[in-house]
Amino acid sequence: MKGCIFNIDAGYLEGLCRGFKCGILKQSDYLNLVQCETLEDLKLHLQGTDYGTFLANEPSPLSVSTIDDKLREKLVIEFQHLRNHSVEPLSTFLDFITYSYMIDNIILLITGTLHQRPISELIPKCHPLGSFEQMEAIHVAATPAELYNAVLVDTPLAPFFVDCISEQDLDEMNIEIIRNTLYKAYLEAFYDFCKQIGGTTADVMCEILAFEADRRAIIITINSFGTELSKDDRAKLYPRCGKLNPDGLAALARADDYEQVKAVAEYYAEYSALFEGAGNNVGDKTLEDKFFEHEVSLNVHAFLQQFHFGVFYSYLKLKEQECRNIVWISECVAQKHRAKIDNYIPIF
């Protein structure tokens, strides 16, 4: 039934989004890109794709950072076009997507100010999708409580932040905990929101978000080995909307080393496959890459169904992966380091 009336509000945007998706580079494009000798070659090839003339007005010689900026700018323009034309509940959904960038920006700024960097140097590094009005004044805050009271209380992130209000000074450890707590709250809220929308959107998005939550839980666990983070604190950071919840998370909370994490993953078919294929030797793919690959396949699957919001999320994520790929290839080309040039993650 939802499908019948979906097109009234979101049909145009879904069509637009699927059109954008067709512009995502194919395997054959990547094969051409990795053959490039210089960044100019890369530019010439990208001109033949949907990117068109996005680099035409850049004076030579190109740098990787300009390519990165332009790729991101194009993506942001597309996303904002979608956002500006959307109505409820799609607009809230799209806003939810931007919150994760906001979290990243906040953490970036706080870490930067902690290291005495001037704020004007940090601002250009922030993701434009996650910028908000009070962002640049973030350095007035010295404690999480202040951060909440002065800066975040007016932003949509405020409800996520409630769990991390404390009077402790902001230090590296604290910031990491804030980031993860924020993410946990954000993922759970987003998960609930998608559930509430229901229908195909819930089916598709909950799958993707559950994976995202589990990935975070596993990564947090692996990264916490050898740090001061206590097991109880660690357990508090796990997002509780994944498939690992509750048994897997309880097992992860008890884990002491990588092997134990792997043993936990053994119980879950899809994750054990990821751990199987991962390794740190030369030629092996890292666990992180494996996770990325799995994410890409989930996002590609989102396009198999119609009449749901998942395509917007998936498009953004796929496009981001593509930007990472192109930047990776450009870096390899620019630094003449071709041995690892094939380590990009193909999408189609």
Partner 1 sequence: MGAMFRSEEMALCQLFIQPEAAYTSVSELGEAGSVQFRDLNPDVNAFQRKFVNEVRRCDEMERKLRYIEAEVHKDGVHIPAVKEAPRAPNPREIIDLEAHLEKTENEILELSHNAVNLKQNYLELTELRHVLEKTEAFFTAQEEIGMDSLTKSLISDETGQQAATRGRLGFVAGVVQRERVPAFERMLWRISRGNVFLRRAELDKPLEDPATGNEIYKTVFVAFFQGEQLKSRIKKVCTGFHASLYPCPPSNTERQDMVKGVRTRLEDLNMVLNQTRDHRQRVLASVAKELTSWTIMVRKMKAIYHTLNLFNMDVTKKCLIGECWVPTADLPNVQKALADGSNACGSSIPSFLNCIETDEEPPTFNRTNKFTRGFQNLIDAYGVASYRECNPALYTIITFPFLFAVMFGDLGHGCIMAMFGGWMVVKEVSLAAKKSNNEIWNIFFAGRYIILLMGCFSMYTGLVYNDIFSKSLNIFGSSWHIPYDNHTLAENGALTLDPKDAYTEVPYFIGIDPIWQSADNKIIFLNSYKMKLSIIFGVIHMIFGVCMSVVNYNFFKRRYSIFLEFLPQIVFLALLFLYMVFMMFFKWIAYSTKNDELAYTQGCAPSVLILFINMMLFSKNVPEEGCKEFMFDAQSDIQRVFVFIALLCIPVMLLGKPLYLLATKKNNPKPEHSNGSVNQGIELQEQTDLGDVQPKPEAKSSGGHDHEDEPFSEIMIHQAIHTIEYVLSTISHTASYLRLWALSLAHAELSEVLWNMVLTFGLKDHNYVGAIKLYVAFCFWALFTLAILVMMEGLSAFLHTLRLHWVEFMSKFYAGLGYIFQPFCFKTILEQEENKDD
From residue 16, give the alpha-carbon distance in Å to each of 10, 12, 79, 80, 314: 10, 6, 11, 12, 14
Choose between 31 and 173: whose C-beta lies nearer to partner 1.
31
Q: Which of 5, 140, 173, 273 binds partner 1 (CB under 8 A)?
A: 140
> What does the per-residue mask of binding to partner 1 show for 117-136, with x meaning CB under 8 A?
--xx------------xxxx
Give the residue with the Cβ less far from partner 1, 44 or 162: 44
Q: Where in 25-44 is the site for partner 1 (CB under 8 A)?
A: 32, 35-37, 40-41, 44
CB of 132 to partner 1, least distance (A): 9
**In this structure, are residues 252 and 261 in contact, taking their beta carbons and an 8 Å threshold?**
yes
Nearer to partner 1, 145 or 327 (CB): 145
Return the closest-CA partner of residue 32 out of 22, 23, 42.
Answer: 42
Contact between 138 and partner 1 per CB under 8 A: yes
Beta bridge pairs of residue 285: 278
Choose between 87 and 140: whose C-beta lies nearer to partner 1: 140
The Cα–Cα gap between 168 and 310 comes to: 39
Q: State the number of binding residues for partner 1 (CB under 8 A).
A: 30
CB 40, min distance to partner 1, A: 6
Rama region for 190: left / alpha / beta (φ>0; ψ in -120 to 50; rest): alpha
Q: Is 171 left (phi over 0), alpha (psi -120 to 50) or beta?
A: beta
207 touches partner 1 by CB under 8 A = no
Under the criterion CB under 8 A, does residue 297 sit at the interface with partner 1?
Answer: no
Does residue 153 interact with partner 1 by CB under 8 A? yes
Alpha helix (H) residue ranges in 115-230? 119-122, 144-146, 158-161, 172-197, 199-224
Please give the structure tokens belonging to residue 329.
């290839």
Q: Which residues bind partner 1 (CB under 8 A)?
A: 32, 35-37, 40-41, 44-45, 48, 56-60, 119-120, 133-140, 146, 149-151, 153-154
